[in-house]
Amino acid sequence: MSSNELIVLIITHGNFAQELVNTAEMIVGDVSDVFYINFTKDMTPDALKKEVEKIVTNDKNILIFTDLFGGTCFNVAGEFLVNENVEVIAGVNLPLLLEVILTKKIMDFSALVSHLKIKAPESIIFVKDKLNEKK
């Protein structure tokens, strides 16, 4: 397995995952290696797990984003953490997704995960505080 082979999977409640991918594509272009699963109200956790199993493989690194720590999407994704090649991040947002898309080809998996641990807090900005920094 090449250390740069990476699949990004976004799992969220409702259509949030799909719309994040659509928005990322609008901004950066091709995101064909970013997958999403919409956990809809008519799905069971078992059905969601089966969808994740179709994407998670042992021959590629998998970065799974979920929308909510402790929610069904997170709980199902967490079951895949037994695989060394899987990392789960709860609290997906557009800036962090774009960071992954733009840097995943220049960093190996371990370096990317470390990089995201630094970038994640920077992806949420309290604008009033930011504006006051400049004064």
User: Under DSSP, is residue 61 helix (H, G, I), strand (E, B) or coil?
Assistant: strand
Torsion, Cα 107 99 78 31, to 10 degrees, reads -90
Residues 13, 66 contacting (CB under 8 angstroms): no
Residues 107, 118 contacting (CB under 8 angstroms): no
Residues 109, 85 contacting (CB under 8 angstroms): yes
Catalytic residue among 5, 13, 68, 90: 13
Residue whose tokens read 């250390």: 3
Q: Does the annotation mark 13 as catalytic? A: yes
Six-digit token string for 45: 């956790």
In terms of Cα–Cα distance, which of 25, 33, 22 is closest to 60?
A: 33
> Which residues belong to the active site?
13
